[in-house]
Structure 1
Amino acid sequence: MNTAKDVLEPLRHLLSLEHLPRAQLIALLDRAQCFVDGEGDRAALAGIAICTLFFEASTRTRLSFQLAAQRLGADVLNFDVSTSSTRKGETARDTLRTIEAMGVRGFVVRDNEDGSVAALAAAAGPGTALVNAGDGRSDHPTQGLLDMLTLRQAKGADFSRLRVLIVGDVKHSRVARSDLHALRTLGAGEIRVCAPPSLLPVGDTLAGCTVSHDLDAALEGVDALMMLRLQRERMEEGLVSSLEDYHRDYGLTASRLRHAAPDAVVMHPGPINRGVEITDEVADGPQSLVLRQVRNGVAVRMAVLETLLGGPLRPC
């Protein structure tokens, strides 16, 4: 018998994975896998206009959303903040409503303020759908989905068997928060987190996780590692003494990786600071799934856009 958490309901926006029902999350992963396998309707969004509204820099997320929308047949508008009226003082809300008035139905939004995308979603008109492409340190739901798809492809659908380790700047990472929401929803057997005390969040972000400051110990027997980017500005804040010290204590090397399960996989959301959080040998090695994450990002974002703008999820 399904619980209320498993009831599949239509999505208006995708702002976070925190309260996304398990059934909805799995349905999105299933649909994304259809696109990975070359199936699905490549004209599902023909005639629909989508705007990538990025107020913060991005490479992987922005380009993969553009490609996802194009592959679904949508018309794509690429918003350039450097040449927009925001430079003249126009608010993000007015920018959204202005573009919406042109008939644009979908918005992919990135901003550096926590909660900013949810605020824009509240201001959007009926029939308009927003996807959070990263807001502040709060959420990055499509990154969480693509990470789960990549992990499921590598390790199977039964997450209860998995020991997953997240390493690095969890305190400031919206990726880590979305991954944690998704791992809990999918019933991951054990979630470990390893970071220096200065880069660990306060509050209930790490509820149910095993927290460590010793990477070698935390690595023992894990099935998957999710390495996080060290945001270099944290050095200026005094949260990290030096890049060399961080790499010594928390950098993933080939020798360290041997503490994990023999078939452990390594993931990283990018961009990678090579030689800081991960070495070339590991990033480019046989256990790395970094480029598969990038490839899966297009399929996941196709599934999300199709779900929000093209009607109910359909089987392959």
Structure 2
Amino acid sequence: MSTSTQLPAPAATAGPGAGRPAPTRRRAVSAERPNYLAGVAGWIWLAIIIVPVYWIVITSFKAQSSYFRTNPMAPPAEPTLANYRLVIESGFLRYFLNSVIITVGTTVPAVLVSFMAAFAIVRGGQGRFLRVVNGVFLMGLAIPLQATIIPVYLIIIRLHLYDSLLALILPSIAFAIPLTVLILGNFIRDVPKELFESMRLDGATEWGTMWRLAFPLTRPALVTVSIYQALTVWNAFLLPLVLTQSPELRVLPLALWTFQGQYTINIPAVLASVVLTTLPILALYIIGRRQLLSGLAAGFTK
């Protein structure tokens, strides 16, 4: 009597949806796998940035006599502040004050005017006048500063403002408004309309709604555009070069250029002036870093 062995039944053919979890697991494993190539590239980029900064800082503390006799990348054996003293005695504080006046005098009015203009454009409905104003601001983004430097120079001459700080502030405000209006308008447009309607039902005017509702909700965007415009004005070179002539009205970028020409051989002194010029920018970034990152993150997620 023969015994028959029962073989296991073959597995059923997988249906269309039977293999779906496998790609999910593969994606999860690949997401957890470290990206070594990106890490190496990040460290290389960090070295590219850090090495020149390190060289500038340590060289600014070296004496001029020992700069050419020592290793450029070696820290100074006898650090000295003579280079910084030379830069400060050459009128750095006056140039720093001029840059602060122009930066604050440009950034504050430009951001406030741009915020009110953006609020009017977004909340003003479909009025023809506001559409024309918005189109003018958009056209301003397509006009570079270099293309208008001669007309700006002629206007400043006609207004008898040449060789003054106001000659730098007014054009800087005009060139800062278009981009600021565009950015702030996008942020105000994303504020829920229900909030505006509820404030109108409570009896708030458009002026009160703008400052009590739109202004606090767009604070990250305001800080972002303020820092961006402040850095742009702080590093401006063309307008001070064309619209000013007196040495006492120089701003830091222009003073740094003339200082480099005056002390070309004294490389440690030149780099000390570079460090002093960069410190205010670094301090501004440290103060507004959190608001700046939140504003940029909000802008990218819109």
The answer to which structure has the higher helix fraction is: 2
With the shorter chain as reference, the TM-score category is: under 0.3
The answer to which structure has the higher strand fraction is: 1
TM-score norm. by structure 1 comes to 0.21
TM-score norm. by structure 2 comes to 0.22
